Structure formats: structure tokens, C-alpha cells
A = this chain, B = another copy of it.
Amino acid sequence: MNSLLTTLGQRSKLAAQKLGQLTTVQKNNCLLQMATDLTTNTAIILAENRQDLSRAKENGISESMIDRLCLTDKRIQEMAEGIRQVAALPDPIGVVEKMWRTEDQLLIGQQRVPLGVIGIIFESRPNVTTDAASLCFKSGNAVILRGGKEAFYSNQLLVKLMQQTLRNNQLDPAMIQFVNDTSHAAANELMQLDEYLDVLIPRGGAGLIQRVKNNATVPVIETGTGNNHIYVDSAAQLEMALKIVVNGKTQRPAVCNAVETLLVHEAVAAEFLPMVEQTLTPQHVALRGDALALSHLKQANLATEADWSTEFLDYILAIKVVATIDEAIEHINHYNSKHSEAIVTDSYHNGQKFLKEVDAAAVYINASTRFTDGFKFGLGAEIGISTQKLHARGPMGLEQLTSSKYIIYGDGQIRE
């Protein structure tokens, strides 16, 4: 075992015990100070970020990656503002969600407690560092952050600044730690740090998620992949359906809650598909339809079997015409990644049926899948969007970073 990872793990475990016992005021004061210290140190953060950027340019990294990597005055202020928002959220720790008296006259409550130590493996955006660290801290969890090598200098400094704030608040700096080694070997060891890590959350593309799933022995919360559908029912208002399809596909195609496949009921295909083409083609969206869809489209290509399973994350939309809502639901449940699914309909029965039978973290009637997001859902924050069924499903806020403990008040009861 890599001694770096073991040392980080041991320190985190000790720090987590102390962090779990802090008061809400202690945590909030420290978070607010972190936000201030971040903006005060804007100049040195930008200097470290320039190191990452110049290395990225040398390595011929793509423009969109460079954009994600790049910090500015404004972005640092936004990061600080993000931390202040986390400070303003209600503290989930200590909340007793329900309490009841049993037949034996025990008073039993279920209380929220931290998970312990959380590992986060993420890719290029440095704002994930402060974002994830503040959410873990507020929910009473120690965190070990392992960012991508592209943002190494930025991430390292951001963690150092947060650790300095912890020290200034007489707190253990190991409450927020950084893996100072960007090798794959170090990442793999983090994934197997069972003795110290309670959960591992990967944040990034499908490749990262798959690598974590394959290598982790620590419990993983799978996030991210969204092969999402919009089904336009025979009873849809087509103007509303068009708005929702355009929004789902083009408002931000590279994110996990964008739409990848459009399913259209055959009764409205002849009217609706030309509307879709006329709106999306000028926006440079490539359409890939099945044979029936192609009969209503001028410039689309034939979709392949692989297209139905693909999360394009791009200006590409697969289109299939279905004969019934059952065929649409069957297609979705077969090909989707259980993320976000929408029906557009004015039929009460079909709407309720879709909600009931489609298997996904978020199922919509008459709204864009782009709303699947912790902030838009009103959770106040988001550490990721879980696509698994255990522990947490859908957008994860502070509550999803907690566990529970039963607290039992007795007066001498024994079991007969």
C-alpha cells in the first residue's frame, strides 16, 4: 500500500471524528472564512492556474477543456459565493427525522450523522475542489480530493488555502485533504482504501466512472451518465413539445441531463418531426432517425443500433417513431441509463402511466430534463447526480452525504 494514501486515510479518519462533533456555528464560521480567504488570495490562485493553463496549452488540450480549467476573478468570486451558500444551508447533522415509542416503552429516534470519510475523484474543473470540500465539511465528513492532473496546481493551492483557514480556526487541516500524486496508481489506491474511506464519489465523464466502478473496493456512488429521452405523445401540445425538445438538446448539450433520443408517437410524427427539423437544423443539430422518422425528415441519417445506447453529449439527436406509449416506455427502460426521462402529453392517463412505469432517477411530465439538478430541485446544493438505486438516487444534496443512527431512550428495559 502506498504510504501517501495510507497516511492520508489515517489522518482523515481521525479528523472525521472531530469534524462530526463540531457545532453548526463552528462549521459555518469556518466556511465563511474560507470564502473570504479565497477572494483575498485571488492573485496567487490565478498565478497557479496560469501554470496549469500553460501546461495544458503545451499539451494541446482542447478549447472546451481549457475553458473549464480557466479561473478568472469572476469565477473565484463565484467559488467563494458557492461556499457562502453552503454555509447558509441548514445543517443536516443531528436532525432527528422521526421519533416513536415502542411497545416496550422505548423512545426511538432516527438521527442524521455524517458518513465519515468521503473520497472524491474528479476531472478538470478546479471549482469542484471548493464545491465538494465545502459540502463534505458542512455535512460533517472529512474529504480526500483527487483532481485531474490538468488542474493540479490550481487544486493543490485551493486545498492549501482551505487547510490554512482550518488551522486559523484551530481545526485539524486533515478535514480536507488532497492527493498530491496524479498517477493512475495513486487513484487506484484511493479506490481501494477500504479501511479509511466510507464512500467514493467520482465526478466526471463516462470513462472515469467506468474506471472507478471496475477498480473500487470502497462503496461507490455512481454519478453522471445520462442517456435521456423525451417521448412526445399523441396527446401532446406540439408547440410545448418543441420547446422542451429544443431546450433538452441545445441549451447545454454536453451535460448529463441533456436529451439524446426523441421518441414520437406515430399519430403526430408527420406534423411534429418537420417542426423539429426546421428548428434544430439551423442550430446545427444532426438528426439520426429510424426508417419511419426518416420518412418525415429531409436531412437526417439512418440511426444505428448503437445510437440508441449512446450519450452523445453533442449536437446530435436520435429519433424514433413509436406506435404506442408502451413501445416508448419499453424502449426507454431498455436503453436508458436511469437518469432523466420526460413525456410531453395532455393525456392524464398517459402521464401517470409514464411516471409509474419508466425506471429512472427523475421522470417528468411536460418539462425539460435539464431541470435534474440539486439547485433546480431546491436541495440548495449538489455533489452529483446518482444513477444508482442504493443509498441515493438523483441529485444529491447535503442530506445524501449523511447516514443515520438510532438513538434509544430507555428506563431500564430488558428483553424477555
Contacts and interface: CB of A to CB of B under 8 A. Distances in A.
Interface in A360-380: 360-368, 370-372, 376-378
Interface string A382-399: 000000111101110000
B103 A378 contact: yes
A46 interface: no
A100 to B, nearest CB: 6
Interface in A387-413: 388-391, 393-395, 403-413
Contact of A219 (B219, B244, B363, B414): B219
A246 B359 CA distance: 50
- Copy tally for this chain in the complex stands at 2
Contacts of A102: 371, 376-378
Nearest to A101: B378
Sort chain A's interface into a size bin. 35 or more
Nearest to A355: B407
A261 to B, nearest CB: 18
**Do most interface residues of chain A lie in helix, strand or loop, or is the interface mixed?**
mixed
Contact of A412 (B106, B366, B410): B366
Contacts of A388: 219
B378 A394 contact: no
B390 A199 contact: yes
Give the top 8 A-B pairs by smallest Cβ distance, nearest first. A367-B410, A247-B414, A389-B403, A370-B415, A391-B391, A362-B406, A240-B412, A367-B413
A359 B117 CA distance: 14
A199 B390 CA distance: 8
B412 A367 contact: yes
B243 A376 contact: no
Contacts of A21: 356-357
Contacts of A226: none
B240 A371 contact: no
